[in-house]
Chain A
Amino acid sequence: GENVEQHPSTLSVQEGDSAVIKCTYSDSASNYFPWYKQELGKRPQLIIDIRSNVGEKKDQRIAVTLNKTAKHFSLHITETQPEDSAVYFCAASSSNAGGTSYGKLTFGQGTILTVHP
C-alpha cells in the first residue's frame, strides 16, 4: 500500500521567514496530494491541494510543488506569521483495488511548525 514520509518532524522559524515541509510517497498511482493544518484541539483544515497533472499551485503565502518522477511534494509558506504555528500534515490519495475511488488518504506523520514573533 501507499506510504508517505514527511520531514522535518519539527520546524522552528522566525516571523517573516519561509518554511518548507517535504513529503515523499511510494505509490506511483497516487494522483491527489492535499495539505492540512491542525491547530491544537481543532480539526484538520484543508489549506491547499495539488493534482498530479499540475507541477505547482499557489494560494497567497502558501504554495505546493509536486515532482511526480521523484515522487515527492513540498509545502512552502512565505512571510510566516505566529498564527501559522500548527501541525501540518501532507497526504496522498490512492485508489481502491477496483480503481473506482480515491477516498483513501494516507497521511504523513506531521510537522510541528512554530513561528516565533
Chain B
Amino acid sequence: KAGVTQTPRYLIKTRGQQVTLSCSPISGHRSVSWYQQTPGQGLQFLFEYFSETQRNKGNFPGRFSGRQFSNSRSEMNVSTLELGDSALYLCASSPRDSTSSYEQYFGPGTRLTVT
C-alpha cells in the first residue's frame, strides 16, 4: 500500500496570510491526526478526524482548523499566520475503526516557513 502523502512539502508564507495543507491517508485508513513539530516544543497534537468528524483537539488557538472529506483525505488550515507558526506539520493515519486500533503512521510532513 502507498504510504501517507502530504502536499505541499514546502511552503513559504508571509505573516497575516492563511495556508491550507493536505494529507492523504493510507488506503483504508479512516482516521487522520495532525501534529506540529518544532525544535522548541517538540511534537504537539493538533486534532484528529474520523469519518469527517473531529474527535479530539489539542491546545491550539482557533486559527488552526481542519476538516476531513468522505474519502478520508484531510486538510488543515491556519489563518492569520504568525512567525511562531513556522514548523513541520505532520499528519498521521490510523486504521482505527474502533477504539481497539491505535497505530499511527506518519506522512513526510509539510515544512511551513512564515516570514
A binding-site residues for B, Cβ under 8 Å = 1, 32, 34, 36, 42-46, 49, 51, 89, 91, 93, 95-96, 100-110
Contacts and interface: CB of A to CB of B under 8 A. Distances in A.
Nearest to B39: A110
B103 A34 contact: yes
Given A44-B90, A107-B42, A109-B42, A101 B50 contact: yes
B83 interface: no
A46 B105 contact: yes
26 contacts: A34-B103, A42-B108, A43-B4, A43-B109, A44-B43, A44-B90, A49-B103, A95-B99, A96-B55, A96-B57, A100-B55, A101-B48, A101-B50, A101-B99, A102-B99, A102-B102, A103-B48, A103-B50, A103-B55, A103-B104, A104-B33, A104-B56, A105-B33, A107-B43, A107-B44, A108-B42
B108 A46 contact: no
Interface of B: 4, 31, 33, 35, 42-45, 48, 50, 55-59, 90, 92, 94, 96, 99, 102-109
A109 B42 CA distance: 6
Contacts of B106: 36, 43-46
Nearest to B41: A109
